[in-house]
């Protein structure tokens, strides 16, 4: 049986299952009520602070569903007009491999050299990254390791094996063709599970020898009872960064009309308030979703005529949501929120009566 099958079997085993909660609905409902109470308190405090520093007087908190209908919002000249911009498609990373360049010379790789280790079950995976300070060049193949054996004080090439793990790993490019400023990496694996628990060999003054020269990694000390494994030079492909929770601190409130008729549009204003002392960037421009009940909803991208929400200020966006003639679900509030959130992106609702 291979490892993938073992993993599937282990993860699918019934003994991993946990007992259900005695009353899950009450447990979750109580938690939501606590969250809502906290959110209202925080929003109220922020609104008080915002008013105190001169944000538009038309800003008001989103009322809870079922609350009293709000007054008509006061028109403001500072509202950014609504433009129906479709949500942009998800981006994908480019993946064309770099063409091979001339071999890197030792005088162009260099400091700083980064070294870090991760351990798992007796194995130590040490990654060494050298940085290219010269022209484009390529590090190919597996470097040999030259080091001083601490027991004998002799300096020699250390016998190694090709790494048995991670070969041709996705997310890495082999060979490592590095442009100025780029890093090339190689991994060394040591382990303490061999030789019947004998004293480990200790290597110091480690250097990597490759086609273009030798690179010393003086800070590195290798301890092992197993034969050292060395991988091939590679370049870590840039991963698309996890979107930062940059909107998490924005406060959203809505200025909505008291009522709307089915088959028409509801025009409302989204107010994004930055309660922090730092600007919050709107570049790239965020996407949003809005809805009025089950049948009236839309997605889009903000009309980002401004590229940030300045510290302690608000930016106001006009919104137009077509209201479906189908209103069997009897909606009573409009909701607006950022799209693609991870659960932390803010949103707001405001009561709107269906005429």
Evaluate whether 291 touches 91 at the Cβ level (below 8 Å): no
CB nearer other proteins, residue 198 or residue 240: 240
CB nearer other proteins, residue 93 or residue 355: 93
Q: How far is the CB of 312 from other proteins (least distance, A)?
A: 24
Q: How far is the CB of 118 from other proteins (least distance, A)?
A: 7
* Long-range CB contacts for residues 239-242, cutoff 8 Å, separation at least 24: 239/93, 239/171, 240/91, 240/93
Q: Torsion-angle region of residue 346: left (phi > 0), alpha (psi -120 to 50) or beta?
A: beta
Q: How far is the CB of 158 from other proteins (least distance, A)?
A: 19
Evaluate whether 183 touches 114 at the Cβ level (below 8 Å): yes
CB nearer other proteins, residue 6 or residue 307: 6
Q: How far is the CB of 102 from other proteins (least distance, A)?
A: 26
CB nearer other proteins, residue 9 or residue 151: 9
Q: How far is the CB of 113 from other proteins (least distance, A)?
A: 21
Q: How far apart are CA 350 and CA 335, in angstroms?
A: 7
Q: How far is the CB of 29 from other proteins (least distance, A)?
A: 5
Alpha-carbon Rg of the chain, whole angstroms?
30
Q: How far is the CB of 116 from other proteins (least distance, A)?
A: 12
Residue with tokens 């996705």: 170
CB nearer other proteins, residue 85 or residue 298: 298
CB nearer other proteins, residue 8 or residue 151: 8
Strands 314-322 and 79-80: parallel
Whole-number Cα distances in Å, 218 to 112, 117, 305: 12, 15, 53
CB nearer other proteins, residue 78 or residue 340: 340
Residue 175 carries which DSSP code? S
**32: three-class secondary structure by DSSP:** helix
Q: Which letter, b or e, does each residue of 229-253 get, where b requires 16 or more Cβ atoms within 10 Å of its Cβ?
A: bbbbbbbbeeeeeeeeeebebbbbb
């Amino acid at each position: 049986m291979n490892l993938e099958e073992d993993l599937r079997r282990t993860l699918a085993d019934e003994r991993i299952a946990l007992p259900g909660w005695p009353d899950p609905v009450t447990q979750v409902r109580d938690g939501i009520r606590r969250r809502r109470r906290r959110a209202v308190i925080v929003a109220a405090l922020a609104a008080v602070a915002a008013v105190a520093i001169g944000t538009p007087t038309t800003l008001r908190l989103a009322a809870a569903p079922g609350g009293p209908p709000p007054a008509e919002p006061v028109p403001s000249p500072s509202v950014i007009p609504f433009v129906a911009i479709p949500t942009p498609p998800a981006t994908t990373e480019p993946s064309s491999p770099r063409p091979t360049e001339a071999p890197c010379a030792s005088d162009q790789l260099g400091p700083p050299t980064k070294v870090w280790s991760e351990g798992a079950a007796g194995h130590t995976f040490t990654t060494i990254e050298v940085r290219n300070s010269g022209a484009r060049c390529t590090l190919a193949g597996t470097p040999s390791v030259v080091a001083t054996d601490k027991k004998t004080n002799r300096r020699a090439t250390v016998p190694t094996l090709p790494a048995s793990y991670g070969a041709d790993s996705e997310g890495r490019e082999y060979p490592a063709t590095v442009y100025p400023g780029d890093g090339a990496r190689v991994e060394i694996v040591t382990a303490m599970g061999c030789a019947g628990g004998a004293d480990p060999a200790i290597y110091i003054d480690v250097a990597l020898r490759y086609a273009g020269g030798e690179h010393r990694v003086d800070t590195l000390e290798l301890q092992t009872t197993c034969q050292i494994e060395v991988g091939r030079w590679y370049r870590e492909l840039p991963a698309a960064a996890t979107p930062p929770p940059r909107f998490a601190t924005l406060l959203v409130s809505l200025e909505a009309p008291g009522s709307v008729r089915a088959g028409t549009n509801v025009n409302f204003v989204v107010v994004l308030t930055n309660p922090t002392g730092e600007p919050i960037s709107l570049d790239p421009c965020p996407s949003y979703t809005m809805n009025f009940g089950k049948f009236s909803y839309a997605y889009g991208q903000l009309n980002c005529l401004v590229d940030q929400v300045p510290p302690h200020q608000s930016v106001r966006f006009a919104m137009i949501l077509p209201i479906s003639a189908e209103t069997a679900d009897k909606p009573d509030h409009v909701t607006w929120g950022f799209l693609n959130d991870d659960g932390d992106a803010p949103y707001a609702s405001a009561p709107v009566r269906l005429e």
